[in-house]
Structures are given as C-alpha cells and as structure tokens.
Amino acid sequence: MRIIVAPDPVLRQKCSSVTPEELPKLTKKAKQMAKLMYKSEGCGLAAPQVGIAKRLIVIDTNTPKEGEKFEPNPTFLVNPVLSRLSDEKDTCSEGCLSIPGISIDIERATELELDALDLDGNEVHIEASGFAARALQHELDHLDGITMFEHLDPISRIEKLQEFEQAKAAGAKPGDTGTTSNAGDTGTTKSSSAAGVAAPSTSAAAPSDSTAGMVVPSGTCTTNTSPQITAHGKDSS
C-alpha cells in the first residue's frame, strides 16, 4: 500500500459508499491505512489517498501531555455523513500527504458533528472541535474528490500548483510540507508534526496538530487547535 500523489485522478473522484458485504474485506486495508498514516507522519488518511475509491477514513489527532509516550489510538469511520458544522470558522495552514511540499491556508468550521459506522458496522456519532474538526473536514473533502487546491481562487490555485510542481521536482515526499503559505517559501521541510509509528513494534512519536500531513503553524489560528473528538454509540432504539 502506498500514498497516491496528485494529480492522480482517483483524488478527484467522488467515492462510493461501503456496502455491508464490502466492510469485512476493507477492515484489513483500513488497519494498513493506519500504519501508513503513522509512518508518513500524518494524523489522518482517506481511502482514495491509497487508491481505494470508498468512503472510509482513519484519524488520530490525540496528543499526549509533555513527557508522556504517544499511544496510537486510530478512529476508523465508514460512510461518514456530516450532520452539523458550526457557524464559527477559522483559517489555518494545511498540508496533505497527497500534495507534499506545500501548505495552503483554508477556512473551516471550528466544530462539527457526523454520523458513521465503525469497522464492526456499528453506528457511531462523532462530535469534534478545534484541530480534530479541521482534520475531519480535510479527510471528508477527500471522499468527495476535493483537494486543497479546490479551496483556492483561480489565481492562487495556479500559483500553488506551480509551487507544488517545484516541490515535487525537488523531491518532496508524503509527510513533507512547505513553509506557511503567507511567508516566503524557502524550500521543502519535513513536518515536525510526526504522528508516529510504522508498526506496533516500533516506538511512537506524538502527533502535533497535523492530519494527512496537515500542519498548523504557530500563530496562524485564532481559536484553540487542541484536538478534541468524542465518539458515541448511537441508540439502536
């Protein structure tokens, strides 16, 4: 399994829902996605980013306190459907494992709620705020064939596409991000927001405000970006 990089057409494809029959077969792939996410220093990954055009994402925005060991705790969401976005919005610089080497300022809601299935087919309700809400919106975009470029006006999109081509030519790989989009881009740097582990047997570093390679530079956001996500099993009645 590998991360698909733009402009692969699967990244612009609207993904189809996972059927009950497909779910057991996708469970193994979902866990492989999580390992790849940690290895690539991301905190979120959508199925189309590994070439699977299905509505499946994995996310882990948990950040341990200073001095504590990071313990991977991925959340898998199948067929996620947004039920609420807050009116309050914030703009932060994001990166993407499928668009390595650059960052883009994107405005998103600061809170959300969604409904989905877990890997066992159970219904779950998710409430997220701060950075976790941003991370989820980033991954949900992927399921509808929306990349960071689609958030830009035509002129800015051309400029960022050119910057991306330069980053790729310079050898940018998934997990690399550029400097913030407002400052002068001085080259491609490895994201300091490592999420951590290649496999359970390796040591894990803590994620630090990143998803799908996304980075939130200090001072860019006006609201608290600490990851907060709450999952509830849905009442079957």
Letter for the amino acid at 102? I
Whether residue 191 is contained in a domain is answered as yes
Which domain CATH number covers 63?
A: 3.90.45.10
158 located within any domain: yes
Catalytically active residues, by annotation: 139
* Domain count along the chain: 1
Q: What angle do CA 145, 179, 38 make, to 5 degrees?
A: 60
Q: Which domain holds residue 39?
A: 9-233
Mean pLDDT by 10 residues, the chain (237 residues): 92 96 94 93 93 96 80 92 96 93 95 96 95 95 96 95 92 73 31 28 38 38 47 56
* Within a domain: 51: yes
- Domain contains 141: yes
- Token pair belonging to 4: 């698909």
- Residue 1, domain member (yes or no): no
User: Could you tell me if residue 33 is inside a domain?
Assistant: yes
> If you write DSSP's letter for every residue of 112-144 in order, what string do you get?
EEEEEE-TTS-EEEEEEEHHHHHHHHHHHHHHT
Residue 3 lies in a domain: no
- Is residue 76 situated within a structural domain? yes
pTM: predicted TM-score of the whole model, two decimal places: 0.78
Bridge partner list, 232: 125
What pLDDT shows up at residue 94? 92
Q: What is the pLDDT of residue 219?
A: 32
